[in-house]
Amino acid sequence: MSKNVVIIGTQWGDEGKGKVVDLITDKVSSVVRFQGGHNAGHTLVIDGKKTVLHLIPSGILRDNVECLIGHGVVLSMSAMIKELGELDAAGVDAKSRLKISPGCPLIMPYHVALDNAREIKRGKAAIGTTGNGIGPAYEDKVARRGLRVGDLLDEVAFAEKLKDVMEYHNFALTNYYGVDAVDYEATLTEALEQAKIVIPMITDVTEKIHQHIKNNENILFEGAQGALLDIDQGTYPFVTSSNTTSGGAVTGSGVGVTDIDYVVGIVKAYTTRVGGGPFPTELIYDVSIDEGDQIGKILGTIGHEFGATTGRQRRCGWLDMVTLKRSFNLNSVTGICLTKLDVLDSLESIKICIAYDLNGTQITTPPFDAQGYADAQPIYIEMPGWKTSTIGTKSFDSLPIEAQNYIRKIESLSGLPVDILSTGPDRDETLILNHPFDEA
């Protein structure tokens, strides 16, 4: 019996989804990316060799896996072509296995210009976007003025639509933000040249997915970012511009809600966040001046917590079960994949946030808005560390008892099983306790 499995990050992104997608695609026919854009950064390490993917699905390193980009993804042609070139140079034939929905909104140079101009104008209130034009592209989609991949098929109509939308955005850039306009002719010329590479990959992705289902083939749906950055459910306004929860797999690919059989919730053994926004369990450390909380320093340096897309330092802190339990509910998580346990190997003791103190009241559900989060003070339980390496551990029983207890505590607090345990960065450094594609 085939299965359709969704993989999502349950925190603020950077949980290690790419590695897990790559790992369990040994049992799938296709991987579908369903939201976000090249603001994602999925790092894969296979036999010590690192590959960073931003837009192309993480199953691309499996020779027999078809990779599909659903209409929920905003597509930068320049970013995708660059990534295809890097894969080609590494000996990976990506073009023949990559299919793109004609419904994908296009990210254009004026989106990037708008993204950066807005962040500058916001000053200290900046959201901390990647500056890649993701938000403005989604805005154009919702406003029904955006260009889509399918528009590339008609050069004349594309040129007319592009001219109209650029007049609109250039007016804002020059008259409101006080920056230079984006050149129309240069933008059109570049887009039509890039279209020559993109057009052969255009496919009715929704129909292809349903054909795989009809053929009783396993499908993996890959999300980007994390559930707490969801435009509707995240720490608004410090969120991304798409639905990063498991429901986004349905709306961003064209499958029905009953087509999803299992949801893998990726959980980092601690918590990180990049960019602005509230973070109750943060252990503040600034790498640029080597000052701040020493546990925060350990998590950041041992965990290599720098963005794969931007290179920005990630903020680090203790595991937060308050936000996690909300995330598990939002996503109907079936089982947990716990990553980066080894980053905690050197710690004497480890804390887990189980509640917040909000203005003298203890709460176990997240505040509604960003200000509520900012005022919330974490309430912790503390557990002993294990002070020994867990990297490459080959069985659960081989883990130090303190590490086993930490994992079991996460299971008891969440009411969910840890089905996969990452014990290092490499593909092979993973314990699959219950494979999502195996029969129940």
Catalytically active residues, by annotation: 14, 42
Cα separation of 343 and 406, whole Å? 13
φ, ψ of residue 4 in degrees (nearest 5): -115, 120
Cα separation of 243 and 223, whole Å? 9
φ, ψ of residue 357 in degrees (nearest 5): -100, 115
* Contact call for residues 219 and 5 (beta carbons, < 8 A): yes
Neighbours of 124 (CB within 10 A): 5
DSSP string, 282-349: B--EETTTTEE-HHHHHHHHHTT-B-TTT-PBPEEE-EEHHHHHHHHHHHT--EEEEE-GGGGTT-SE
For 121-125, which contacts have Cβ atoms below 8 Å and span 24 or more sequence positions? 121/177
Sorted by sequence, the CB contacts under 8 Å of residue 154 that are 6+ apart come out as none
Burial per residue of 68-83, b for 16 or more beta-carbon CB atoms within 10 angstroms, e otherwise: bbbbbbbbbbbbbeeb
Q: Which of 386, 347, 381, 350 has the alpha carbon at shortest distance from 364? A: 381
Strand 315-317 to 219-222 pairing: unpaired
Cα separation of 100 and 199, whole Å? 9
Q: Which of 300, 301, 264 has the alpha carbon at shortest distance from 282? A: 300
**Residue 406 burial (10 A CB sphere; 0-12, 13-18, 19+):** buried
* Contact call for residues 44 and 424 (beta carbons, < 8 A): no
Neighbours of 176 (CB within 10 A): 11
Instruction: Give the H/E segment covering residue 4.
Output: strand 4-9
Residue with tokens 């991987």: 31
φ, ψ of residue 359 in degrees (nearest 5): 55, 45
**Residue 290 burial (10 A CB sphere; 0-12, 13-18, 19+):** exposed
* Contact call for residues 364 and 322 (beta carbons, < 8 A): yes
